[in-house]
Amino acid sequence: MKSRYKVTFQPSGRTVHVLAETILFEAAARAGVLLQSPCGGKGTCGKCRVRVVEGACAPSEACRSALTEEQLEEGYRLACQAKVGGDSVVDVPDASLYEASTKILTSGEGRELSGQPAVWKRYVELPCPSSEDAVADLRRLEREIGKVHVHLDVMQGLPNALRDNAFKGTAVVCSSRLLAFEPGNTEGQCYGVAFDLGTTTVVGELIDLTTGRELAVVATMNPQISLGDDVISRITRARETPGAVEEMQASVVGALNELIEELVAEADVPQEKIYEITVAGNTTMQHLFCGISPAALGEVPFPPAYNRTLMMTTREVGLRVHPNARLCVFPNIGGFVGGDTVAGILANGLHCTDRPAVLVDIGTNGEIVLACDGKLFTTSTAAGPAFEGARISAGMRATVGAIEKVVMNGEDLVYNVIGDTAPIGLCGTGLIDLAAVLLRAGIIDATGRVLGKEEVPSSVPSALCSRLHERDDGQVDVLVASAEESKSGEAIYLLQRDIRELQLATGAIRAGLNIMLQRCGLTADDLSEVLIAGGFGNFIRRGNARRIGLLPNIPSDRLRFVGNASSMGAKYVLISEEARGIVESIAESAEHVDLSMDPEFQMEFGMAMMFPEDA
């Protein structure tokens, strides 16, 4: 029996290698396929149903009670219950996807967006002018499509566009603005692109605005990385290097243009039929994308330049789609609570939840949103880059070669490596897993100290114990992968100071969350939901996150992974004009809490750095 299996998800064809016994739901998330999970993975709602068409994924008890014998025969499983038992191919029905693509549903019941995109097309056949009907060309068109504002170039082209085509053609309208008048009936070709503009990664999704369906998704590194690894280094560059803002803007716009070309190639649609682009990112990334200096974000009190949705034409920033296409950049709430958080609030319906709920985006900056009594409180907390692998001795991003998962298997730990290769280092989820495993075994104590071989409880299996290596200074390293196993030929260790970095990161997020709860007179128990957003959040094992204190100790069914909420929010605004209005009011009404101003924060932070005694 192999210890790792390859799982391919259809129809996307995405493939991952996971440890044996990994639940399908987790494997799917790792592959970027986010499934529905309203019951929180308890196997009771049946919403995450998939069909295993090749390979072996044994049905659990919950599968047997939720599905008929016939369905089980056909390979149907509950993804949150069935475990990978061999190389498999799994069909994912649309209905099981977290984002139902044709209909926008926010997280709660009955909270639907009306779903009319700002951009729409209408094919018209107008009567030709006659002596009895000599109205202006524009009014002739408006009798069919209603009153519109007109771009000058459209107005300039309209008389000929009408006369060259016997007064027939397709009007393209965006929020009462006539973007174009095209020959023939092009009603079926109406596209938009939603961008999630991350510090590290940029994700673009091509959306068919007539159906709301996603036609293609592409991603690339944010090329600004070469000019600064994280938000702070780019702010510093903007402050210190003349021309840096323009340079960084040009580089990210170039990346978006490349993604647009990939998207239209993949979906085989005409580039000039893209009429709207939405962009959600953190405050700094949005500033740089718009060519607005983020210099003030490098200095107390970190005020953003703008707090409003910025609307412009795509050509103003140099995006190559329809020249009159609208560009909508999300509003910011604070210097480190940006459009991505606003998008996440929208996508998860936090603005209209009636029970206290929290959204946490775990990254270098942990953004926290608490919805309570119809109000939104937001903050950001400097978690540091531990979750992204930085400042961890063997740390790395979650890319090929990263140990992304660590579990106990009998007497020793085993790990899974992204891309099924020899390990290069540890990414954030692997780090959390490893810390949780060591905490449970008693090798790390509540203060975060790694115990020596002589100090560990006798219950620690000898295989695990043999991984501990005491240094001359008394600090203890944990061997994760031996020199033989590792790609580089050098052993991979977890060091004492890596645990300290992890404590700083988890402490910052937990302290932030605790302060926010205290402000509203709540405890973690009062929360109806804790939503974990962000690409990283997707892959965290809930139990392990609770064990190290990153997440509060509340039942699993109240902890939900909501995937790339920023991307989803950006898409919502494309698909629903109403959503754009909601975004505006979210940014306007959300209260931004500055943790550095809170006298309790240091105390909370210190306490939150301790690992919970039990969990």
Q: CA nearest 510: which of 558, 462, 545, 475?
A: 545
Of 39 and 295, the one with the shorter C-beta distance to a second copy is 295
Is 164 one of the binding residues for a second copy (CB under 8 A)? no
CB 303, min distance to a second copy, A: 5
CB 91, min distance to a second copy, A: 46
Is 155 one of the binding residues for a second copy (CB under 8 A)? yes
Of 120 and 302, the one with the shorter C-beta distance to a second copy is 302
Of 116 and 156, the one with the shorter C-beta distance to a second copy is 156
Three-class secondary structure of residue 518 per DSSP: helix
With beta carbons less than 8 A apart as the criterion, state whether 337 and 592 touch. yes
Three-class secondary structure of residue 474 per DSSP: coil
The only residue of 70, 110, 114, 131 in contact with a second copy, by rule CB under 8 A:
131
Is 152 one of the binding residues for a second copy (CB under 8 A)? yes
Two structure tokens written together for 353: 């939840």
**Strands 326-329 and 274-281, how do they pair?**
parallel
* Dihedral over alpha carbons 234, 238, 240, 243 (to 10 degrees): 130
DSSP structure string for 557-584: GGEEEEE-HHHHHHHHHHH-HHHHHHHH
Is 306 one of the binding residues for a second copy (CB under 8 A)? yes
CB 151, min distance to a second copy, A: 8
Q: CA nearest 25: which of 54, 50, 2?
A: 50
Count of residues near a second copy by CB under 8 A? 48
Is 290 one of the binding residues for a second copy (CB under 8 A)? yes
The only residue of 92, 310, 402, 511 in contact with a second copy, by rule CB under 8 A:
310
Name the segment binding a second copy (CB under 8 A); options: 213-221, 309-317, 424-432, 510-518. Answer: 309-317
CB 334, min distance to a second copy, A: 7
Is 597 one of the binding residues for a second copy (CB under 8 A)? yes
Cα(212)–Cα(182) distance, rounded to whole angstroms?
22
Is 236 one of the binding residues for a second copy (CB under 8 A)? no
Three-class secondary structure of residue 476 per DSSP: strand
What's the gap between Cα 100 and its chain centre? 16
Question: Residue 316: CB partners within 8 Å, gap ≥ 6?
Answer: 327
CB 477, min distance to a second copy, A: 41
Is 135 one of the binding residues for a second copy (CB under 8 A)? yes
The only residue of 224, 332, 348, 486 in contact with a second copy, by rule CB under 8 A:
332
Of 25 and 377, the one with the shorter C-beta distance to a second copy is 377
Phi, psi (rounded to 5 degrees) for 513: -65, -45
Is 130 one of the binding residues for a second copy (CB under 8 A)? yes
With beta carbons less than 8 A apart as the criterion, state whether 39 and 427 touch. no
With beta carbons less than 8 A apart as the criterion, state whether 413 and 464 touch. yes
Is 166 one of the binding residues for a second copy (CB under 8 A)? no
Letter string b/e over residues 326-354, b meaning 16 or more CB atoms within 10 A of that residue's CB:
bbbbbbbbbbbbbbbbbbbbbbbbbbebe
Name the segment binding a second copy (CB under 8 A); options: 12-20, 219-227, 330-338, 518-526. Answer: 330-338
Place of tokens 């992974």: 561
Cα(495)–Cα(500) distance, rounded to whole angstroms?
9
CB 381, min distance to a second copy, A: 15
Cα(346)–Cα(328) distance, rounded to whole angstroms?
15
CB 13, min distance to a second copy, A: 40
Q: CA nearest 512: which of 610, 379, 385?
A: 379
Q: Which of residues 175-204 bind a second copy (CB under 8 A)?
A: none
Q: Which H, E and C letters describe 430-468, residue by residue?
A: HHHHHHHHHHHHCCECCCCCECCCCCCCCCCCHHHHCCE
Q: Which of residues 526-545 bind a second copy (CB under 8 A)?
A: none
Task: Please give the single-letter amino acid code of residue 470.
Answer: E
Tell me the β-bridge partners of 54. Answer: 89
With beta carbons less than 8 A apart as the criterion, state whether 347 and 573 touch. no
Name the segment binding a second copy (CB under 8 A); options: 18-26, 364-372, 526-534, 593-601. Answer: 593-601
Is 326 one of the binding residues for a second copy (CB under 8 A)? no
Is 137 one of the binding residues for a second copy (CB under 8 A)? yes
Of 149 and 375, the one with the shorter C-beta distance to a second copy is 149
The only residue of 159, 188, 521, 555 in contact with a second copy, by rule CB under 8 A:
159
Name the segment binding a second copy (CB under 8 A); options: 4-12, 119-127, 304-312, 391-399. Answer: 304-312
CB 129, min distance to a second copy, A: 5
Name the segment binding a second copy (CB under 8 A); options: 64-72, 135-143, 374-382, 399-407. Answer: 135-143
CB 163, min distance to a second copy, A: 7
- Interacting residues toward a second copy by CB under 8 A: 129-140, 149-150, 152, 155-156, 158-160, 163, 290-293, 295-296, 300-308, 310-312, 316-317, 332, 334-335, 592, 594, 596-597
